[in-house]
Amino acid sequence: MPLEWSGSSPELLLALDRASAEPLRCQLERQVRDAIRCGRLRVGERLPSSRELARTLGISRGLIQECYAQLQAEGYLATRTGSATRVAAGAAPPAPAAPAPPAPEPARLIADFRPGVPDLGSFPMADWLWAVREAGRAIPTAALDYGDPAGATPLREVLAGYLRRVRAAAAEPDRIVVCSGHAQGLVLAFGALARAGVRTVAYEDPGGPRSTEAAAAWAGLDAVPVPVDEDGVDVRALAATGARAVVVTPAHQWPTGVVMAPRRRLELIAWAADRDAVIIEDDYDAEFRYDREPVGALQGLAADRVVSIGTVSKSLAPALRLGWLLAPPSLAAAILEHKLLSDRGSPALDQLALARLIESGRYDRHLRRMRPVYAARRAALLAALAEHAPGVRLTGLDAGFHAVAHLGLPGGEAALVAAARARGVGLHGMSMCRADGGDTPVQLVLGFGNTGERAVRAGIAAVGDLLAPR
């Protein structure tokens, strides 16, 4: 598709050699002709006006008009009164063969129980645009320069207050580094740990083996799985690995939904103190809870041993790519240096917009609005399973927007997922969360964050007989 320019004339790179024996007009004609022949200028593309090109090249407008007229006579250009000069059809070389047409899109699913995705349709667009306008209106000129790689000061101050108030964290602005989400936060933390001499990092199993192992490999670390039970990560098993760092999700374990027991939290902190180790807390899903009291961040109990990573990917939308690390003093400088080297800092205007969203109360208002929405979807999931697959047991429903379905099925997970897909329902198995990729016992991670109540009911009704124990 040719470039379209609105209003101002497009630019065109041409170089005239005034010391050459070749006349300027001939140079101009040759360069435009060559640009069309080699495909730099495509059929239908607009050329600069004769007046603008003459001004740019420092030559007379009449010379440009003569060049355009000659190239039009040769069939390279097409002009029409009152319209721009464009590359004529057939003047450029034939386009390369078109690639094979993409495979047809799969049929639209009745329901996709993909976990980890919030309700994208409920993103508070009006509030976000308001926050962007407010941030843009108030931003000082100096803030448009290369800023502090740790992040915009207003956002770090607002986040520190928010984390103290809502997550009971020991948060100060100078301990916060703004990042582009959990993935970068994990990479920054692992890089700092490697620099501090750590060689092995542990992670929960089931958990996020692929992303954790990839980030660890990037930092030159070995990653080892540690089992999770009904109280959280198994600290005895952790101690046996020899790791000096561990990634945990204590507020709502991914994906089992277990809340780390108070006793287990103290054991984990004691392990970190005894081994001179670091706990990396993925503080996700804490905003959405239903049947239990809120649980504070683990970082608030051991600020000198915990790196806490938070994002707005679940509370707002993953596309914002905004998160933060709350770092202990021993790692703060190294994390900041890695951030500086990786991208010089996250986009300033988006940071200031998030700060305005939070301090205005609109962020809290959005969370309050979404809690009953997710609670209603959770209720719809429970009711649909009770009706269509009453033998299925659900766990992990106290918070967040996913649950684990325990299926007493003799067949494999892959066959179940494929059969459901054939009926227009997206199911996602626990194997993706297990370090060994195993599919036994057969369990599903059912996300309902981006699946409405009607779709939840219709999806479970379509696959109920596949889920029911036999």
Q: CATH fold of 123-364, please?
A: Aspartate Aminotransferase; domain 2 (3.40.640)
Q: With 70 as the cut, is the pLDDT of residue 421 above it?
A: yes
Per-residue model confidence (pLDDT) at position 293: 72
Q: Does domain 24-87 have CATH number 1.20.120.420?
A: no
Sequence spans of domains, the chain: 24-87, 111-118+370-467, 123-364
Contact criterion met (CB below 8 Å) for 120 and 112: no
Instruction: Compute the average pLDDT of residues 87-100.
Output: 74
Per-residue model confidence (pLDDT) at position 102: 72
The position carrying tokens 């080297």 is 341
Q: pLDDT digits over 346-399, tens only?
A: 999 999 999 999 999 999 999 999 999 999 999 999 999 999 999 899 998 888
What average pLDDT is seen over the chain?
A: 92
The two three-digit tokens of residue 307, written as one number: 């790196």
Per-residue model confidence (pLDDT) at position 3: 42
Contact criterion met (CB below 8 Å) for 179 and 340: no
Q: Which CATH class is domain 111-118+370-467?
A: alpha beta
DSSP string, 58-75: TS-HHHHHHHHHHHHHTT
Per-residue model confidence (pLDDT) at position 162: 95
Per-residue model confidence (pLDDT) at position 288: 77
Q: pLDDT digits over 10-55, tens only?
A: 888 898 999 999 999 999 999 999 999 988 998 889 999 999 999 9
Give the closest residue to 446 by CA, choosing from 417, 408, 423, 422.
Answer: 417
Per-residue model confidence (pLDDT) at position 6: 41
- For residue 291, name the pLDDT band (cuts at 50, 70, 90): low
DSSP string, 358-385: HHTTHHHHHHHHHHHHHHHHHHHHHHHH
Percent of the chain with pLDDT over 70: 95
Q: Taking the model in full, what pTM does it have?
A: 0.87
DSSP string, 442-470: -EEEEE-TTS-HHHHHHHHHHHHHHHS--
- For residue 1, name the pLDDT band (cuts at 50, 70, 90): very low
- For residue 292, name the pLDDT band (cuts at 50, 70, 90): low
Contact criterion met (CB below 8 Å) for 38 and 52: no
3-state SS class at 159: helix
